[in-house]
Amino acid sequence: MTDRIPPPRALARSASQALAYLRGHARVLLLPLVVLLATDAVVQSLWLGQSPGQALQGLAVALPALLLLSIVALSIGAAWVRIALAVLVLCINYAQYAFWAFYGRFLGAGELHLAAANSSHELVESIVLYFSGPALLAALATTAAYAFVIFRRAPFAASRRRAAIAVLALAAWCILVDTAMPSQRLYSPVPAFATTNVRWIVEHLRAEQAVHPGRRAAPPPSGAAADFDVIYLIGESIRADRLKPNAYARDVAPLLHSLKLPHVTFNNVTSAGDCTGRSVPMLMVQPAQPLNVDLYRRPTLFGYAKQAGYRTAFVNSNENEWREFVDDNIDTLYRNVDPAGGEDHWAFRTDAAMLPVIDHIANSPGRHFIVIETYTSHWPYGDRYESCPECRVYRPDLVGKAVPFAPIYRAKITNSYDNAIVYFDRFVSQTLALLRKPTLIVLTSDHGESLGEENRWGHCSAGIEQMLVPLTLIATDENVALAAGFSELMQKADVPLSHANILPTLLKLFGYDVAKLEFPYAADIGSMTGAGRSERPVLVSEYGAGEQTVSFGFVSAQRTFTRIETVRVE
């Protein structure tokens, strides 16, 4: 016998029964609801610092969710299930308050996606890094109110059916809030977490089922491509001040700072995004609005290079799969994590493990365009240089252990970060030593890193130090420097630039007239005027899917953070 879809009368009857249940048990549900609302209001005022108006608005939206959660809790009979629910609520509350302590907001769908993509080892270390004692106390206080509801004896029998219906109603509420009020912020941690999870699931399903517009094939270049190899070396989480000479008290990049090869260093460059997942796809594609469409429509750098006659390669020691730009335009692909192999199938445990692969590709016959993505300076920083004892220049550091991101550990965290930069400097030097053909190296970072500035740590939180990145062009000989226009580029060393200027600069080397391409791009570095851009956008949100907002932070020509602007993706 097959299940039949309930007719409208049956649905109306179920709704009527639900309303009757609420009317009949109003007194039973009123006390739990008041306790949860009062607790959330107090914590929002004391811990989150919300104004009464903000708190009231957020609680009003969260009210149906708290009511449904109360019904779920009162409908559970098994003691072990109630205990598990209380532990889950504690974990949710702590995760929300801890994230607020560092970033001033609750967890978003992007953080859940990042947690799902990370290995279990990285996830555990992240929990340690982001430990917050005050957040734990706030979570315990809030969970005590939930425990009052969860372990309270109800005057009616437990019912799995009632609990299941309430859970389904909660999911429907989450979808309604996300659809009808996508910009509404919830300050009640558990309802906010429920909404975020539903949003993440919907986004994941939508992304899996999305039919992206066909990527345009790159046209042939109108001119001759440069007669040398090009290596695009993307560092991880490298601050601009660490690689610029005389900008930092410690010389953490001695080999780069004493570089004898021809090179040009640019001193005022912003990243495409404040996270790897927001920045690297922009580096490879440089999409325009709408990002969620244009990212899959424009030709990639690999496509342009291939049309220009280069053999293309991507060597990656990072964790991402990069579906946004990895396609058949890459002739040689070395991905660190095999998507089918799981988190233990790492091709490169260290950046140095990439060197034999780079040697083989770069020194094989023909012209090559090679993108190398490192993982050098990502937290936990000590894990990155643990295989390099001579890189432990600054101590005490944190090799083999993680501590919370907190001011008390700032000196050790900074020492560990600086040692990771020493390791990166050594890796770049080793890469240069491998090259036996004329080559231009374009060296930058996906984004910068916060080391306690205004209680910001790591990245993905729109800090100005996360938006400023290094950019250096290195030539293996004077002929390459001449062909790449180093004498002209040196005049632009102090011009405000962004990642957006790198792709057209490379296209020019590939023989393209950027102004004649189908898609508009920013100006190449050589064409930038002395003033540069007055404000440079940095993506500080996810790319979005469907009708969602996308946020950009803006950096002035004087390297100051000016504002965040949110636009709607249609």
Task: Tell me the pLDDT tens digit for each residue of 215-228.
Answer: 999 999 999 999 99
Tell me, what amino acid is at 556?
S
DSSP per-residue letters across 328-360: TT-SEEE-SB-TTT-TT-BS-SSGGGGHHHHHH
- State the average pLDDT over residues 73-84: 88
Q: Are 384 and 241 contained in the same domain?
A: yes
Nearest CA among 471, 482, 469, 421 for reference residue 442: 471
Lowest-pLDDT choice from 47-51, 127-131, 140-144: 47-51
pLDDT computed for residue 470 by the predictor: 97
Distance CA 366, CA 360 (A): 12
Residues 157 and 256 in one domain: no
**Arithmetic mean of pLDDT over the chain:** 86
Do residues 14 and 92 both lie within one domain?
yes
Tell me, yes or no, whether 559 lies in a domain.
no
Which amino acid, 167? V
Is residue 465 within 8 Å of residue 434, measured between CB atoms?
no
* Per-residue pLDDT at 26: 63
Q: Does residue 557 lie in a domain region? A: no
pLDDT tens, residue by residue, 442-486: 999 999 999 999 989 999 889 999 999 999 999 999 999 999 999
Indicate the number of domains in the chain: 2
User: Average pLDDT of 527-554?
Assistant: 80
Please state, in angstroms and rounded to a whole number, the distance separating the CA atoms of residues 319 and 119.
9
Per the domain annotation, does 424 fall within a domain? yes
Whether residues 195 and 302 fall in one domain: no
pLDDT band at 69 (very low <50, low <70, confident <90, very high): confident
124-138, 192-206, 252-266, 327-341: range with highest mean pLDDT: 252-266
Has residue 299 got a pLDDT over 90?
yes
pLDDT-derived band of residue 384, with 50, 70 and 90 as boundaries? confident
**Same domain membership, residue 240 and residue 336:** yes
Binned at pLDDT 50, 70 and 90, residue 541 comes out as confident
Per-residue model confidence as pLDDT tens digits over 152-193: 877 667 888 888 888 888 888 888 877 766 666 677 888 888
pLDDT higher than 60, residue 17: no
Question: Is pLDDT of 72 > 80?
Answer: yes
Q: For residue 2, what pLDDT band results from cuts at 50, 70 and 90? A: very low
H-helix or E-strand containing 191?
helix 189-209
Whether the predicted pLDDT of 302 surpasses 80: yes
- Whether residues 201 and 236 fall in one domain: no
What pLDDT is recorded for position 122?
Answer: 67
Residue 569 has pLDDT above 80, yes or no: no
Q: What is this structure's pTM?
A: 0.83
CA 539 remoteness from chain centre:
10
Least confident among 53-57, 169-173, 394-398: 53-57
Q: Which of 43-52, 78-87, 217-226, 561-570 has the lowest mean pLDDT?
A: 43-52
Identify the pLDDT of residue 27: 63
Asked, for residue 567, whether it belongs to a domain, the answer is: no
Claim to verify: residue 317 and residue 452 sit in the same structural domain: yes
Query: What is the model's pLDDT at position 352?
Result: 94
- pLDDT > 90 fraction of the chain, expressed in percent and rounded: 51
Cβ(282)–Cβ(271) under 8 Å?
no
Which backbone phi and psi does 544 adopt, to 5 degrees? 90, 160
Distances (CA, A) of 192 to 62, 127, 330, 348, 458: 8, 20, 41, 38, 24
Neighbours of 473 (CB within 10 A): 24
In this predicted structure, what is the pLDDT of residue 1? 41
Residue bearing the bigger pLDDT, 438 or 143: 438
Q: Is the pLDDT of residue 435 over 90?
A: yes
Q: Are 456 and 101 in contact (CB under 8 A)?
A: no
The answer to whether 196 and 110 are in contact (CB under 8 A) is no
CA atoms within 13 A on the CB side of 380: 22
Q: Has residue 340 got a pLDDT over 80? A: no
Range of the domain at 23: 8-209
Task: Answer whether residue 223 is part of any domain.
Answer: no
Tell whether 399 and 289 lie within a shared domain. yes
Q: Residue 424 to residues 229, 279, 305, 359, 409: CA-CA distances in angstroms?
A: 22, 19, 26, 17, 23
Q: Other C-beta atoms within 10 Å of 49: how many? A: 11
Is residue 181 domain-shared with residue 296, that is, in the same domain?
A: no
247 and 138 within one domain = no
- Of residues 34 and 27, more confidently modeled: 34
Say which residue, 438 or 382, is predicted with more confidence: 438
pLDDT beyond 90 at 13: no
154 and 285 in a single domain? The answer is no
Q: Cα dist. 547→173, 285, 447, 516 in Å? A: 18, 22, 27, 32
555 falls within a domain: no
**Residues 408, 521: one domain?**
yes
Using CA atoms, how far apart are residues 450 and 463, in angstroms rounded to an integer? 7
Q: Which of residues 529 and 10 earns the better pLDDT score?
A: 529
Residue 306 lies in a domain: yes
- Exposure string of 281-302, with b = 16+ CB inside 10 Å and e = fewer, is bbbbbbbbebbbbbbbbbbbbb
Q: What is the pLDDT of residue 311?
A: 98
pLDDT of residue 468: 97
pLDDT of 59 above 90 = no
CA 364 centroid distance within chain: 35
Q: Do 127 and 107 touch, CB atoms closer than 8 A?
A: no
Q: Distance (Å, rounded) from C-alpha 486 to C-alpha 507?
A: 16
Which domain CATH number covers 490? Answer: 3.40.720.10
Assigned domain for 556 exists: no
Check whether 125 has a pLDDT greater than 60: yes
